[in-house]
Amino acid sequence: MARPTGFAYEAHPDGAVHITHHGRRATVLRGDRAARFLDEVTAADPQLVMARWTGDYKRGNERTARAHPRNRG
């Protein structure tokens, strides 16, 4: 699986954290979630952490989902 890229985050004075992906806002975290994110992003690979927090990462089930009757052409 390819490594996620293009993520950036910005911590604001009011405690909010804005996460962007290729310059477009992906999510805004506030309160406890923002604090947990900031702790985690400094301890691990930031791109991977931001991809996970925004939900923009492969889950490994794409091939099986493609074969599902609902998704067939």
> Per-residue confidence of the chain (73 residues) as pLDDT tens digits?
567 789 999 999 999 999 999 999 999 999 999 999 999 999 989 998 998 898 865 555 556 666 777 777 6
Is 13 part of a structural domain of the chain?
Answer: yes
Give the pLDDT score at 59. 55
For residue 20, what are the β-bridge partners?
A: 8, 25
15-34: b (≥16 Cβ within 10 Å) or e: eebebbbeeeebbebeeeeb
Is 1 part of a structural domain of the chain?
Answer: no
User: pTM of the entire structure?
Assistant: 0.72
Is 26 part of a structural domain of the chain?
Answer: yes
For residue 36, the enclosing domain spans 7-62
Is 53 part of a structural domain of the chain?
Answer: yes
User: Which residue, 41, 38, 36, 48, is CA-closest to 3?
Assistant: 48
How many domains would you assign to the chain?
1
* Residue 31 backbone class (left: φ over 0; alpha: ψ -120 to 50; beta: rest): left
Is residue 10 classed as helix, strand or coil in its secondary structure? strand
Is 51 part of a structural domain of the chain?
Answer: yes
Is 72 part of a structural domain of the chain?
Answer: no
